[in-house]
Chains A and B, each alone.
Chain A
Amino acid sequence: MSFITGVGLTPFGKHEGSSSLDLMSKAAQAALDDAGLKRAEIDGVLCGYSTVSSHIMLATVFAEHFGIRPSYAHAVQVGGATGLAMTMLAHHLVEAGVARNVLVVGGENRLTGQSRDASIQALAQVGHPDYEVPLGPTIPAYYGLVANRYMHEYGVTEEDLAEFAVLMRAHACSHPGAQFHDPITVSDVMASKPVAMPLKLLDCCPVSDGGAAFVISRERTREAGVRIRGCAQAHTHQHVTAAPTLSELGAEISAARASEATGLAISDVRYAAIYDSFTITLAMLLEDLGLAARGEAAARVRAGHFSRDGAIPLNTHGGLLSYGHCGVGGAMAHLVEAHLQMTGRAANRQVGDASIALLHGDGGVLSSHVTMFLERVR
């Protein structure tokens, strides 16, 4: 058994003058404080990567900087799925008795530490170096290809996709740490600059500075606890050229494995924290996971199903699309928000019932998937 005993999250946006280590440290300190743990009580450290300050041993660089001498430490790299993959590993490390308290941390000054072009260029390298990258694709283009096909097969429109951007922005408006606070409409999304069609600027998450951290522990440190019920992964390909057909993508596989591991079904879920690098990512994952029928996720958004007071509140902090995306820490914010909701600490964003949460992360181009169920315990 493992518990998420503490969470920490910085505001996302511009943190002029902060390094990746600064942002990781800030989030880590917040998570330790939240858990009521001291540095000496942390015996495991897992961290992600930073495209601004890449290092072959980032976990020990961070541990030394932060002032921890862990008995277990290394970095993990699974693109956008890194945060949940680290959490899954921490869960297993704690269950196996390898560590008592594992600090999971991600943070990057991706916005102010390098040019936006440099960020976009660094990320495009997830493509095949010989067969894809020479064609000048960008991450939005990889997802644009998937969006084009998905829309064709399931009758989804650009206006449908825009609904997800509008929803995430509406949620971000009530979170002081979000990068964007101006409400947007479907027509704003439709009128935004084309990036890689059918994706336009407001269909894409921004580049941000920020950090996030959690502590995964063998024992609870506070009264209200959040337990990791179970998790699973699926990895079907790396490059979009080699992706399976849309009906055989990894989200469905990892969700089925996670359900099997936990005995929980999608119908048990009360709160959803789903990766949303682009509007198409969110639409597809909701449908792959079974939170909406094929081609019907947008209709559910319009009906308020995923709103704060809806049946399944979704990314109430604003997601990658509007809270922001600082790399590894970006999708970790989804877990932080889920934790706050589950422990009744989400202030003006608090939902009625977040007793069971479903989390899902995606890395690459729908390449790597991690699904996780969290459960509130008292």
Chain B
Amino acid sequence: MSERLVDWTRGEQAITFQTCSACGQVQYFRRAFCAACGASDPREQRASGKGRVYATSLVCRAATPETRTHVPYNILLVDCAEGFRMMAHGENDLAIGDEVDASFKPFAGRLVPFFVKRK
């Protein structure tokens, strides 16, 4: 098993993904195996943070006191340059197709990926 890289889900300013060394499949949700072919030990890497907006939804009604202090916040699905899709936050005026770069912001006591429009 290769060494686990720490990413934003564990408080680090990083987005990671895995590539299967057998079939080349790219996956975002970390597993000990490739979900496409089952081969073990997919290679883990840091992503560039570059991507394109696939979809957005501006959340105006949150369900917990911690998240309510942040409304409105924009939830995105971003197609990352490395070939995987991820959920993240981003600038409120982002639209489908926008080229974006990742940064990180505190949200409800955690660190979350926050995408901004590429200049």
Contact = CB atoms under 8 A, between A and B. Distances in A.
- Say whether A and B bind each other: yes
Interface string B48-75: 0000001111111111101100101101
Interface stretch (B18-26, B38-46, B81-89): B81-89
Contacts of A117: 63-64
A342 interface: no
Contact of B58 (A152, A193, A196, A241): A196
B28 A196 contact: no
B9 A144 contact: no
B86 A131 contact: yes
B60 to A, nearest CB: 4
Interface residues of B, number: 33
Nearest to A200: B60
A136 B29 contact: no
Determine which residue in B72, B73, B87, B108 has the highest number of CB atoms from chain A within 10 A of its CB, and name it: B87
A235 B76 CA distance: 23
B75 A135 contact: yes
A141 interface: yes
Interface stretch (A120-128, A163-171, A176-184): A120-128
Interface residues of A, number: 34
Contact of A128 (B29, B61, B72): B29
A194 B9 contact: no
Contact of B63 (A124, A130, A132): A124
A340 interface: no
A105 B42 CA distance: 44
Contacts of B112: 134-135
Given A128-B29, A131-B87, A136 B57 contact: no
Contacts of B87: 128, 131-132, 135, 137, 240-241
Nearest to B29: A131
A146 interface: yes
Q: Is the interface of A mostly helix, strand, loop or mixed?
A: helix
| Interface residues of B, dominant DSSP | strand
Contacts of A193: 60-61
Given A131-B29, A136-B70, A241-B85, A145 B56 contact: yes
A329 interface: no
A117 B66 CA distance: 12
Contact of A197 (B30, B57, B63, B107): B57
B47 interface: no
B37 interface: no
B56 A148 contact: yes
B75 A137 contact: yes
Contact of A196 (B59, B64, B89, B108): B59
10 contacts: A130-B29, A136-B64, A136-B70, A138-B62, A141-B75, A149-B54, A196-B60, A197-B58, A241-B77, A242-B29
Interface of B: 9, 28-30, 54-64, 66-67, 70, 72-73, 75-77, 85-89, 96, 107-108, 110, 112
Interface of A: 117, 120-121, 124, 128, 130-132, 134-138, 140-142, 144-149, 152, 193-199, 239-242
Given A136-B73, A152-B96, A239-B29, 16 more contacts: A121-B64, A130-B9, A134-B110, A135-B75, A135-B107, A136-B66, A138-B62, A144-B75, A145-B77, A148-B96, A196-B60, A196-B61, A197-B56, A197-B60, A198-B57, A240-B87
